Chains A and B, each alone.
Chain A
Amino acid sequence: MSAASLIHRPTLILCLALAAACLGLATVSLTLGYVELGAAEVLRGVFGLADAPVALIVQELRLPRTLLALMIGAAMGASGAALQGLLLNPLAEPGVIGISASGGLGAVLALYFGWMSLSPYVLPASAMAGAGLATGALYLLAARNASTLTLILAGVAIGGLAISLTSLAMNLSPNPWAVSEIVFWLMGSVRDRTFEEVGLAAPFVLAGLALLVASGSALEAMSLGEEAARSLGVALGRARAQVILGVSLAVGATVAVAGVVGFVGLVVPHLLRPVVGHAPARLLIPSALGGAALILAADILVRLIAVGPELQLGVVTSLVGAPFFFWLIHRMKGRPG
């Protein structure tokens, strides 16, 4: 038996193709903006080989946006795949089950109470705490033999609570300008971001992704049920905490800098699952790459569609994702719980 046969070939090809798509889309994303730049010029700019103004535009203005799109997509894609594995439910997704909204609430509270003056990291920390509380609560509410419906309802309840508390904060806000700022930011966008935001989110997103990818074999064992997983030496409590923490870090950090970008974690794992043979462990990395590609593409789209004010990224993903969600529910109707 050769070493090559130990790697699942379709998964490997999928990963390479998605990585190539990410690179291509990232390049396209960098060429878009007020100043027209070609792909070659942009790439030289990224590596500091272009003229100073071009390098400045590419590195300071465009690269943060592209990097954030990559990070958000990877965070959402991997979180969706991991949550679906943890909750044994193909409809689990940070946006659908209220984790993103709770992260948003955490961020809004940090903005509202001015905690940000303590440290810039309070914003992502607060968003991650919100996302973590929601994920933990959801797990406690719905993890024990929960049907698909129970889980989604629990998620809807948590999301509804987070949204209403966010509204309350805005309602009580003495500053109308701050309210419109919050509303706009909650819609989700990577526009006009700087390396400051990238630096704020990146460590947490990377740590979150590492935790999620490392949980792969535990998630796969969990597909056999709790008992079988434990009999295979999986420390269930630790594995669950690892996934919840990973999702909280990844989702919270991206929500803190880019608002809520929904449905990516639903669509991407669902489309990729058949390619990787439905194996939860194999799904994580392709979902991260696929999510990154999808968000990059969506962010390119919002800049190409000229409809007066630029469309918000989160609005576009929801417009595409919500019908997909309906279709998924429709397809699952025939299946038990």
Chain B
Amino acid sequence: MTAGRIGCLSVEGISVARGARRVVEDVSFEARGGEVLGLVGPNGAGKSSLLRAIACLVPRAAGRARVDGEDLAALSPRERARRLAFLPQGHEVNWPISVERLAGLGRLPHRGPLAAPSPADREATERAMRRAGVKGFRDRPASGLSGGERARALLARALAVEAPMLLADEPVASLDPYHQLRVMELMRETAAAGDLVIVVLHDLALAARFCDRLAVMGAGRLLAFGPPEAALSPDRLAEAYRIGALHGERDGERFVLPWRRIDGAERAGS
């Protein structure tokens, strides 16, 4: 992985419609290689839809996503798959294939439909399994894994693509705290190598600590975009989430701890 494989992702006025309803409305931002961008917001804010729209997995009603000037939608599916690894929210694995085989699927965009994995594919798969910490159970069937193990096996699959962009939809959702921290550190490492990581998160503490910048969404719109301290300011949290949080700092790192609900009357009075 060489630094600077991706310069800039520009999301330009993306809207996504589901039926007559717009679930994402005119979202624009720019993200750079080398950063972890967190996509946060309450349930139904349109985070997952936006992520899918960037990855060209759902049709857009408007807008486009360009990487260093190149429209992602104009690329062939295979070429796009080499530029952008996508980790979906569910943990779907329909056959009890081994963890190693599962991780190796991340190499599909790099080989022909009939070609066997090359030594380079093998090495990338090994790297991904090591980074995701699944080498210890590489031969176990995916169906026999715990929720956390399976989530990491699927993360290994996404890492094996070795694309300059990683889009992950709630990658820590079913993990215990140890592995949540581990996966977030992994996201940081990936970004440190020059890649762009966009990650949908519900955990504001993790978002505040591990993301360079946050895109806060609410009702399909981008409410705020910027460094965590600005994006998760008390006013923003009240507006987006209807919560108040404890803000603090420890060892030079900032944390946000959701503390109480704010209902309508209280907000109007404050």
Contact = CB atoms under 8 A, between A and B. Distances in A.
Do A and B actually bind? yes
Contact of A225 (B77, B84, B88): B88
A140 interface: no
A277 B105 CA distance: 14
A61 interface: no
B116 A227 contact: no
Given A6-B116, A228-B88, A279-B101, A233 B108 contact: yes
A278 interface: yes
Contacts of B90: 225
A227 B57 contact: yes
A216 interface: yes
Contacts of A221: 105, 108
A182 interface: no
A323 B90 CA distance: 36
Given A6-B116, A280-B95, A232 B122 contact: no
B109 A233 contact: yes
Given A216-B113, A221-B105, A232-B105, A6 B119 contact: yes
Contacts of A218: 113
Interface in A1-21: 1, 3, 5-7
A227 B95 contact: no
A224 B102 CA distance: 9
Nearest to A6: B116
A214 interface: yes
A296 to B, nearest CB: 27
B57 A223 contact: no
Interface in B89-129: 90, 92-98, 101-102, 105-106, 108-109, 111, 113-114, 116-119, 122-123
Interface residues of B, number: 42
A224 B81 contact: no
A235 B77 contact: yes
Nearest to A2: B119
B150 to A, nearest CB: 11
A235 B78 CA distance: 9
A230 interface: yes
Contacts of A277: 97-98, 101
Given A224-B102, A227-B52, A232-B109, 7 more contacts: A6-B119, A223-B93, A224-B94, A231-B81, A232-B106, A234-B108, A280-B95
Interface of B: 52, 55, 57, 76-82, 84-88, 90, 92-98, 101-102, 105-106, 108-109, 111, 113-114, 116-119, 122-123, 141, 154, 157, 161
